[in-house]
Each structure stands twice: as structure tokens, then as C-alpha cells.
Amino acid sequence: MYWFIPLLLLLLLNKPFIGEAGKIKTVSLIDNHEQERESLVQSLEGIWNVTNDNHSINIFCNVPGGIYSDLMDAGIIGDIYKNFNDLELRWIPRENWNYFTNFSVSKEILEKKAVFLVFNGIDTFATITLNGKEVGYTENMFRRYRYSVKDFLRIGNNNISVYIHSPIEVSIKEYEIETKRHDGIPVLPICLPDKYNGECHVNHIRKQQASFSWDWGPSFPSSGIWKLPVLETYDVVMIGDIEVHITRQSENKRWDVKLIAHLESFPNNTISGSLISKLSHYKNKTSFIVNETNIENYKIPNSGRIAITQNLIVPDDFVDLWWPNGYGQQILYDLNVSFNSSEHVSKSIKVGFRTIQLVEDAIENHEGATFYFKINDLPMFMKGSNWIPSNILPEATTSEAGEKRIRKLLTDANIANMNMLRVWGGGIYESDFFYSVADELGILIWQDFMFASSMYPASESFLSNVEEEIVQQVTRLQYHPSIALWAGNNENEGNLKHNQFGTADHYDLFKDDYIKLYADVIKTNIEKIDKTRPFVLSSPGNGKLSDEQGYIAEDPGSSKYGDVHDYPFWNNGWLPSSFPIPRFISEYGLQSLPNYQTLEEATDNPSTDLQYGSDFMEKRQHHPDNYGSLDFQLSTQFSDEKIDFKNYIFRSQIIQAVSMKVGTEKFRQFQNTIREDSAGLTMGALYWQLNDVWQAPSWSGIDFAGRWKMLHYYAKNFFAPILISGNVIDDLLTVFITSEVRNTIEASMSIIIHNYQLFKDINTISKNVSITPQNSSIYYQNEVKTLLGDNDLSDTIIILKLNIESQQHNLENFVLTGDLKKVTNVPHTTCTVTKKDGPDFQLRLKTDSYTPFVWLQTNITTGRFSDNGIIMTTKEKDVYFYGDNPDISIEAFQASIRVSSLRNTTQLI
């Protein structure tokens, strides 16, 4: 019971202690692949020690892990996300940190011909020493490093040190070297905007760029061993990555599967054995397709790696297709690869059968080209958002809790009818767990490479470092059916062309560096490794046109080519005219604040910090406009009366949700339409952004605590497979129905003109409609004044309904035509729990007058409501809560419910 005393003495006396690591067990070398073998793999996971240079800190730590997590666990620092810790902990990345431990090596291990020390992820610059001898140096957190260490080890006790150099200091040195190479011209930008409270020279190192701060995140550039380190030991080979290239041969009614198994050994080793690949039917496990390749006396080259190619011919009747969310099932097949010799090693992955094309065709009689995805020969509108790292600390993305967080976020995206997420280029290449869950849920991934909003060096050493990064990551991830597209960078083509960072004075120099990095290195390697997916050099970009114009388009971000980014900061976000009509929009958004409960978790002084204009809220806001553009949006839609901070949060979420609804509906309305000015044929909308990395104002729809903002509830509706939407432009009401369903749907459509001052429907238009599959069309159009009678448009709201008999439910939407500044009544709204089903509840809302943006909250359990931010134009409405705690009673849940609305915010929590 007194086990803790040595630990307390250690912390008090600050004495070094050698932790334990090195248990022998079977582990996965690459994230979550299953791997079995007779050869031994010794994990170095466990309790290590970490100390700084002057030994003022010397603590136990976890490996895998990272320095911020270690210091929090040891009680040296508090919760990094609380108070002003992002500013007060700036000393941490300026220190060098030495991670060290002892581990035991058996005679059995050292008798193996090959012993490799493998680091799957070190963040970032580390000198590795084994038993006092330097083994290697790492310089890229996105790379796996593998060292032959048989001659460095001894039977029994061994010690290892991973001395991690300050990323701040290294970036300064790299900046000085690169500036000298550039004849005194620095790689721009030199620093992040002051408002970010970040660091400088981050574009010189291969480390998560957003960890140095962004306009939505803090500066916590970690150091640590963020992925599992192991000793690999064997006599013959280990199986590394498995590439799977699947192509459809429709004329032969078959699928060709080209499999490349990457075997890792040691130079000059001679191997013999058989490589067997087995593809199992996803239902009938006795049905499988197999291929065997025999190898006789093959001499391993100096690289220590060989790649063996096998071809499997899979008949159509063996295959059920993998489909994105909303279009069908996500069928996955087990593919097992084994190598049999004096040792046996095998590895299993899951693959899906689907085809993917990015269609960029000239448009007859119009300027520009299409830009849309065809999956399994079916054109699809891509609906989704942008993914930033699930945690600003990379080690927190690979832990058990981190994986739980990732699964919840991806599940939330699936629930919101999303079929694509863009993994943004300022974060990290996600773990195999992330992509495997995306495979399961049918969420396609637009995968950026990790370059964002900066110019980058093009020195020989930098390009060589990047090349190995690209080869490793593409080879690792390539088999996932969810990955739809590779993109070279985030926004750098436009940044260069439009002189965003002051590059104009040396444009040719920066252009040459740009082409060397993205075209000569990244594009070239992608085309070698993965010919089954499209690649774009930059996002946004003009697609093929950018390539044809020398990789820097004459007008990057043109709405007539490729994809665009667009933010209506200083335009009325509730007007469709504030949004462009592009071919594909991969970023658009407006800010809101996180839920008050989430902000409360970030401060020890909520009464003073959680106020508009407080020092805390000013430091949490990293947007260069501060709160200016958000205040502009609020003043545009709402009256100027004084409101408290909770109401400010609430209104910010209303602004964001309605703006994204208006923009997204416009994009979906134009998927089949092209105007005379060649605008239109929009086939994708990925808003910025899905998730958060701390409690602060941002563009997210889900806050850092996992609570849905109003935006995510609205996304579930505006991304629905069948959408009825409308607008009033120049006194003309236009109603659209958009369908992704592949068959004609019969429905009854209702258009209701509601006078909210009277709390009364003043006109209803009903008609039966046949909804065209895979199409967006106008189903009603009329001058709105003919529908109003003697009523004023500013006193109305238009309710749109679809009653689909086959689905036995109504689809409902609204068009905000009224002036919310005229809404002054304070409604009396109640919510009664009427039914319980396990962890779920049915609720009935009742109100006595027009009640816009009814917001339901509970603090007793986690879960989600079936709808929220509701516009009530009727006296009653049923809502459901989907929870995760079956032990909560109706009485307890009823007592926890809080109901708020635009003019009644007293119950906001």
C-alpha cells in the first residue's frame, strides 16, 4: 500500500530513475494492422524517464507519449487547455528533452540474424543513443525510422536515450541556413500573424504546422515519442506495408487486384520461401482467392527491402461494392499476406472494391471544366467538412482515449449525412485507425499532404526528407478505400500567385521552389506509387488547368475550374448572393463560439473570464479580425440590445448555422445547373471545419468537448439525401428539391407562408411531385407578393415540407424572409418527456407563439437531439434524444432539460 513513496521521493529529491520498458510481445508495426509471426518483436512501450538539460525536471513518463502529456501527468504543469497556459507554457518547446530507459534483451533475440530498432513516430528532432553509442538522428515527425542495432545490443540490461532537440531552436537554425542558401532571401512568411500567439520559421521543419498555433488553435509544439517504438527481430523477413491496387475490367466482368508486399530484411541476406496472399469473401469465409509466389535464394539489396508483386483476378460475382455513406453498404474484405520459410510471418488488412474518378471535362458552349467525383461510375455530390487534428497533441491521437474521440467525430460526421472529409494539410497524417473507421463508415477522404499556408524550402536535404515522407505515407495508406484524392498542399498556389506573403519581389525563385517540391517530388512519387487515385497539386486550385499552365494557374481559385475556398466574413451570410457558384468548394465558413459549458471547462475564473471583451476571450480569439466580422454578422441579423455572454454565444451559433445552411443549399441547388456566365455545376461542399483542438472561437460545428453546435444539427438537415430548399431573390420565390436517391420518389410538397406576428399560416400551396433521381431541380416558382396578400414579407417565414409516403415521415425546411429584429415577443415554451426507450427519450415541445431557434440542452448525460435550433411555427413538435446512459430516469432527464430560444435565453447553460 506504500508503493507511492519512492515516486514521491523521486519527485521531491529530483533524482533520476530508470523506468521499465521492453516487454516481449507481438505488436503491430504500422498502427492497427494485425500481424502474426514466429519471429520476436519486443515492444519498448512502457514507463520511461524524461529530463531537461539542467535536470531541473526529471520525471516518469509514458512511451508512446509527449512532453506536454508527461508534464501534466507528473503534476509539473496543469491542464494545458485551461486559463492562459498556451502563453505561460512557452518555455516547454524551448527546452531539449531526453527520454531514456533500461530494457532487457534475451539471448534468443540476439541470436536472430536481424535486430532492428524501429521508431514509428518521433516528434521531431532526436539523437538516438543505444548503450552509449549513437544509432541515428530523426528530423521528420511524419516518417518511420528503422536502424539495424544487433551490434549495439547485449544480453541482459541495455539502455536507450532519445534526446529530442527543441523544435523552436532547430527551426531558427534551419531558417538561417535556408536564408543563406537563398542569397539572403527568407522563405516566407517568416512568422505567423501576431494574433495567433504562435511561433516563427515553422515552415522550415517537417512537423505539424498547426502545433505552432493557427487562427483556431493554440501553440503547443510537442516533443516526444508519439508512436510505438519496437525491436524487430527475425532471421528471414518482416512484412511491412501492403499496397493494393484495384481496377475494374468491366468488359471481362472481373476486378484485377495488384498486390505489392514490401518485405523488410537486412542487406546481403539471402532468402527463400513462399509469399501467399488470400482474399476472403466477406460473408462466406470458405470462399477465397489465393496466389502464391515462390522465392529461391533471393539476395536482399543494400536498401534492406524488396517488393513482391502478385496479381489476383477476382470475378464480378465474388464482389460486393464499397459505397460512400448514403449510397450503399461499406463492404470490406479480409486480405491476408503471409511469408513462409524457416519463419512464418503474416499480416491482414481490409480492402474494399470501388472505382473512383475525378472528372474534369470541358463544358460544351461554356468556359471552364467540370470537377466532380464518380464512385463506381456514379457521379456524386460530395458533402462534408474539413478535419483538423482531433487533438493538438499528436500522442493524444493514438491513445485509447484518442481513438475513442476519433470514432465519435467520424460517427458524428456519418450521422450528419457527410460522405467526404478533407484531412487538412496543416495537421498530421492520421493513424490507420482513423482511415479504417472512415472505411467502415463510408466517409471518403480528401487527403492533403502536410503543407499549409506557407512557402517551403527546396534545398536538396529538405526535398530528400519530404520524398521519404511521401513515399512512406502513400505506401502506408494507399489500400484504404476511403481515400479518394491526394492534394499537394493547402492554399499555397494562390498564396504565391496573389503575393499573400510578399513573394512578388522574388516570384521566379519561389515559383521554382514550389514546382520542385510539389511537382518534381510529390507529384512524381504519387504517380509512381498510386495510379488509381487522382492528384491535385494544390487546394484550392484549378485542377488540370493548373498543371497545363505550369503548375501556377493564371487565376488560381477560379470558380470555373477545380475547387475554391471562400469566406463571407464581411458579407451578409444569410444571403445566397454572399456565396460563389463554384465547381467544387472545399472550404467555406463563419465563426461561432463553443458552448458555454465547454468554455467553463477552460477557466478557473468563469465569472470574470467568460465575458465579452475579457482578456481571456481576447487571447482565445486568434482571428486577425478579432471579433469584428462576427460582430458584423450579429448586428446584421439581430437588434442591438445589450445581451449577456451566454446569449452572445447562442447568437453566434445561430449566425453560423444559418449561414452554412444558406450557402450549402445554394451549392446543392446548382449541381445540375450552369448559367450563361458559366457558373454552376457545383458538385461538392466541404465547410470549414468539423472539429476543434481547444475551447475557443472557431469555425467548427463540434466543439472541443464533443458537443454539437447548432451548425452540426443543421448540417444533418442540409446534407440530407433528399433536400427541399428555397430562396427569395428579387421578389421571386424559388423552391428546389435535390435528390441523391437513385430512383424516382413520389411525394407531396407543401409551401406554407407563415406570419409570425400573428402566429398563423396565411397561405399554403400543395402539389404532388415526382422527384427526379440524382438531380436538383426547380419544383415551384412564383412572385412572392402574390402569395402574401395584405401581409408584409418582413413579418413572414416560409416553411417547406415534403411528405414521402415510402419513408413515412416529413422533410421540413425553412426560408428566412422575415426581419428578426422585429421579433420582440417572449414565447412561453415547454418541453415534456413523454417516453423512454433505454438510453433514449421522446420529448414534446409546446409553445404559445412564433419561436425561432429553439435550443435544447441537458447536462445530465451525453448524446444528441434529433433536431435542434428549431423554428417553431406550430404549437407542438416532437423531438427525440439519443443518449448513451440507460440508467437515467425520465424524472431525472426531465429535470435536466433546458429550453431556450432567440427571445428567451434565461435557461441557457
CA torsion, points 9, 12, 17, 22, in degrees to nearest 10? 80
> Average pLDDT for residues 221-226, to the nearest whole number?
98
Q: Does position 125 have pLDDT exceeding 90, yes or no?
A: yes
Residue 646 resides in a domain: no
Percent of the chain past pLDDT 70, that is, above it, reads: 95
Residues 725 and 715 in one domain: no
Same domain, 314 and 455: no
Q: What CATH number is given to the structural domain containing 269?
A: 2.60.40.10
Selected catalytic residue, list 45, 95, 243, 587: 587
What is d(CA 453, CA 500) in angstroms, rounded to the nearest whole number? 9
**Which amino acid would we find at residue 574?**
W
CA–CA dist 226, 66 (Å, integer): 6
Which residues on neighbouring strands pair with residue 305, listed in sequence order? 264
Which of 174, 491, 665, 812 is labelled catalytic?
Answer: 491
Q: Are residues 16 and 151 in the same domain?
A: yes
In a domain, 396, yes or no: yes
Host domain of residue 330: 237-340
Residue 618 annotated to the active site: no
One domain, residues 715 and 764? no
If DSSP codes are grouped into helix, strand and coil, which group holds residue 332?
coil
> Tens digits of per-residue pLDDT, 635-667?
999 999 999 999 999 999 999 999 999 999 999
Total count of domains within the chain: 5
pLDDT category of residue 286 using cuts at 50, 70 and 90: confident
> Can you name the residues that pair with 282 across neighbouring β-strands?
none
pLDDT per position as a tens digit, 733-792: 999 999 999 999 999 999 999 999 999 999 999 999 999 999 999 999 999 999 999 999
User: What integer pLDDT is reported at residue 377 of this predicted model?
Assistant: 97
460 shares a domain with 313: no
Does 753 lie in the same domain as 893? no
Note whether 551 and 699 are same-domain residues. Answer: yes
Residue 110's CATH number: 2.60.120.260
137-185 tens-digit pLDDT: 999 999 999 999 999 999 999 999 999 999 999 999 999 999 999 999 9
Residues 713 and 742 in one domain: no
Among 719, 750, 770, give the residue marking a domain's end: 719
Contact between residue 395 and residue 697 where contact means Cβ atoms under 8 Å apart: no
Other CB atoms within 10 Å distance of the CB of residue 254: 17
Report d(CA 410, CA 415) in Å as an integer: 9
Residues 697 and 755 in one domain: no
Domain boundary among 186, 202, 229: 229
Please check whether residues 417 and 465 belong to one and the same domain: yes
Q: Is the pLDDT of residue 851 over 60?
A: yes
Amino acid in position 515 = I
- pLDDT given for residue 808 in this prediction: 56
Does the residue 244 lie in any domain? yes
Domain assignment present for 67: yes
Question: Are residues 832 and 856 located together in one domain of the fold?
Answer: yes
Same domain, 532 and 664: yes
Rounded alpha-carbon distances, angstroms, from residue 278 to 197, 284, 335, 348, 349: 53, 13, 6, 9, 11
Helix axes 432-441, 460-477, angle to 10 degrees: 40
> What confidence tens digit (pLDDT) does each residue in 55-86 have?
999 999 999 999 999 999 999 999 999 999 99
348, part of any domain: no
What's the pLDDT at 18?
Answer: 46
Catalytic residue status for 491: yes
Q: Is the pLDDT of residue 87 over 60?
A: yes
Element spanning 734, H or E: strand 732-739
Classify residue 147: in a domain, yes or no.
yes
Among the candidates 670, 688, 719, a domain finishes at: 719
DSSP state string for 374-439: EETTEEE-EEEEEEPPSSSSGGGGTSHHHHHHHHHHHHHHHHTT--EEEE-TTS-PPPHHHHHHHH
Confirm whether 356 is domain-assigned: no
Quote the cell numbers at residue 101.
530507459
Structural domain includes residue 897:
yes
* The pLDDT of residue 459 is above 50: yes
pTM of the model: 0.95
Place of cell 491535385: 536
The CATH number of residue 586's host domain is 3.20.20.80
pLDDT average, residue stretch 551-556:
95
